[in-house]
């Protein structure tokens, strides 16, 4: 892809996890990637990794929960690189399991402010650029937790809200040829998840077994799905939430069917999944 054809892709939360994997996938495909993150250390490291692999990238500091910071990011990208062709709203945080009576309201608000409101602010800041050039792609990162109840009382609702925002914006921006989609990951082996595994808050065996493929999703798996949704091959696709979950959604009820008695017939060498 030559310079004239090179797309400009902004990836929030690009310094780690799904954002890092997506930034590297897009850069490998030939896009110029703006790695936007609240951590300069992590973001600059990803830029170095992209450049070492022959790609092109730049870092921009941003706190997606801060309105002036998000607006400044959009203005900086437009002034320094040109109109953003792709926006990937990957900035987000997880939440540990806790009942409502012991979940601090500050934790609830922080999850909502980053996961939902942060994505909303980025859409609001970058959509006008795309509308002006009458093309663009916005990709939100939701979660299978948006569809199934889980004991994370802010995380799931934040992702469900983002899923509905995706549909609303797809219709709102569609007449100007701006497509808005989401990817819906299952359990992804990110740095945040690994930290929770190491701390004993997550069981990696259970995370793997609760899927059709018997493994966890890798950040690059999500990045590849995003690359497809931003391609011409997906030009008629907008307003969807594409599961990238190693088959978690179909497996979650199948594997708990009473007739299986707690053991999958093709996984007799593994621990029961129910």
Residue 183 lies in a domain: yes
The pLDDT tens digits of the residues spanning 121-167 come to 999 999 999 999 999 999 999 999 999 888 899 999 999 999 999 99
Q: Is 58 helix (H, G, I), strand (E, B) or coil?
A: strand
Please report whether residue 118 resides in a domain.
yes
**Residue 229 counted as domain residue:** yes
- Helix ranges restricted to H, the chain: 17-28, 40-52, 67-80, 105-112, 118-133, 155-173, 191-198, 204-209, 219-229, 248-254
Dist. CA 269–CA 272, nearest whole Å: 9
CATH of the domain at 60: 3.40.50.720
In a domain, 58, yes or no: yes
pLDDT digits (tens, 9 = 90+) for 29-64: 999 999 999 999 999 999 999 999 999 999 999 999
Q: Is residue 207 part of a domain?
A: no
* Number of residues assigned to the chain: 274
How far is residue 84's CA from residue 59's CA, in Å, rounded to a whole number?
Answer: 14
* pLDDT for res 265: 60
d(CA 33, CA 53): 13
Domains: count for the chain: 1
Residue 262 has pLDDT above 70, yes or no: no
Which residues make Cβ contacts (< 8 Å) with residue 195, sequence separation at least 6?
A: none
Beta-strand pair 136-141/86-89: parallel
- Phi, psi dihedrals of residue 179, rounded to the nearest 5°: -95, 140
Structural domain contains residue 273: no
The CA distance from 60 to 126, in Å, is: 15
pTM to 2 decimals? 0.92
Catalytic one of 155, 187, 248, 254: 155
- 20/11 Cα distance (integer angstroms): 8
Of 128, 120, 244, 127, which is closest to residue 190 (Cα–Cα)?
Answer: 244
Helix, strand or coil for residue 9?
strand
- Is 155 a known active-site residue? yes
Does some domain include residue 130? Answer: yes
pLDDT tens digits, residue range 9-22? 999 999 999 999 99
Asked if residue 17 belongs to a domain, the reply is: yes
87 beta partners: 10, 138
DSSP state of 265: T
Q: Domain span at residue 55? A: 8-197+217-248
């Amino acid at each position: 892809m030559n310079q004239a054809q090179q797309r400009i892709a902004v990836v929030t939360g690009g310094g780690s996890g799904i954002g890092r994997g997506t930034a590297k996938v897009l850069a490998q495909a030939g896009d110029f990637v703006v790695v936007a993150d609240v951590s300069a250390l992590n973001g600059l490291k990803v830029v170095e990794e992209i450049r070492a692999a022959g790609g092109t990238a730049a870092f921009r500091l941003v706190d997606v929960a801060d309105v002036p910071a998000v607006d400044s990011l959009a203005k900086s990208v437009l002034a320094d690189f040109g109109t953003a062709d792709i926006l990937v709203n990957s900035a987000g945080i997880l939440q540990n399991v806790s009942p409502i009576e012991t979940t601090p309201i500050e934790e609830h608000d922080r999850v909502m402010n980053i996961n939902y409101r942060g994505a909303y602010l980025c859409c609001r800041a970058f959509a006008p650029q795309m509308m002006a050039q009458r093309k663009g792609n916005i990709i939100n990162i939701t979660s299978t937790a948006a569809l199934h109840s889980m004991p994370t009382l802010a995380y799931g609702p934040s992702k469900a809200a983002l899923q509905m925002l995706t549909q609303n914006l797809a219709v709102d921006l569609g007449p100007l040829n701006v497509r808005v989609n989401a990817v819906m990951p299952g359990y992804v082996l990110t740095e945040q998840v690994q930290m929770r595994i190491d701390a004993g808050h997550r069981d990696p065996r259970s995370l793997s077994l609760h899927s059709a493929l018997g493994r966890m999703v890798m950040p690059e798996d999500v990045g590849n799905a995003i690359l497809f949704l931003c391609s011409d091959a997906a030009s008629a696709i907008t307003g969807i939430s594409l599961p990238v979950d190693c088959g978690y959604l179909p497996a979650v009820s199948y594997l708990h069917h009473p007739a299986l008695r707690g053991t999958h017939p093709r996984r007799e060498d593994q621990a029961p999944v129910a």
